[in-house]
Amino acid sequence: MSESKVIVITGASSGIGKASAELLAKDGAKLVLGARRENVLKEIAENIDKLGGEAVYQSTDVTDDDQVESLAKLAIDKFGRIDVWINNAGIMPQSVLSEKKIQDWNNMIDINIKGTLYGIGAAIPYMDKQKSGHIINVSSVAGHQAHQGSAVYSATKYAVRAISESLRQEMVDAKNNVRVTVISPGAINTGLLSSVTDPEVKAGMEKFYAAYSIPVERVALTIKQAIDLPADAAWNEVVIRPTNQLG
């Protein structure tokens, strides 16, 4: 069960990260929260204390390997171990390739791919030493199928899935009991739409999300269920969509 587990979450200031932290806190999990907005993390940590959990936090830019390593060190210094690491930080500034939004492309690559790699790199040495652990990487249904306007975003989320499968095989070979799970959400009511910079693409996505999106707590529950599975089994990949979402 997630009770008393030490769980690190990146992108913890909003959306899936925030909802997961608050849900896991109700089980008494010990949370280590990372995001860029330290003032928001402080508020979430205070709320977690009220929910019966315990939380520490640190301003963390996942594109900076040193900051991610520092977040892992915070978990070890405060709680002595890392049981679960959730790579949740991500952005979705979708646009058609002909717009040549190179800065958006670079930002997605840095946060969605490198941020995931840095999280894995920070957590695995501790998990390997303690011979247990769980890496949860948040991908997307866009990591299963690409559409017009989603080329780079989809590429980063396909990458998260590829990285996760390679990691799973490496952990099996290492015999260190580290589980690997990929969560691929569909239309979820998070703050991701705010990162879409192309007005036309954003308008279409807002209309779609207004019609189909489901609350972020549904993904948080899925993450909790993956954590609570007995240690001898793992959900390696979960796709969660609104019931009425076609693609």
**Residues recognised as catalytic:** 153
Query: How far is the C-alpha of 156 from the C-alpha of 92, rounded, in Å?
Result: 10
At how many degrees (to 10) do helices 115-130 and 151-174 cross? 10
Comparing CA positions, the residue from 14, 147, 151 lying closest to residue 88 is 14
Query: CA of 74: how far to CAs of 81, 108, 222, in Å?
Result: 10, 26, 26
Task: Please list, in sequence order, all residues whose beta carbon lies within 8 angstroms of the beta carbon of residue 57, skipping any fewer than 6 positions away.
Answer: 12, 32, 33, 34, 35, 38, 41, 42, 44, 45
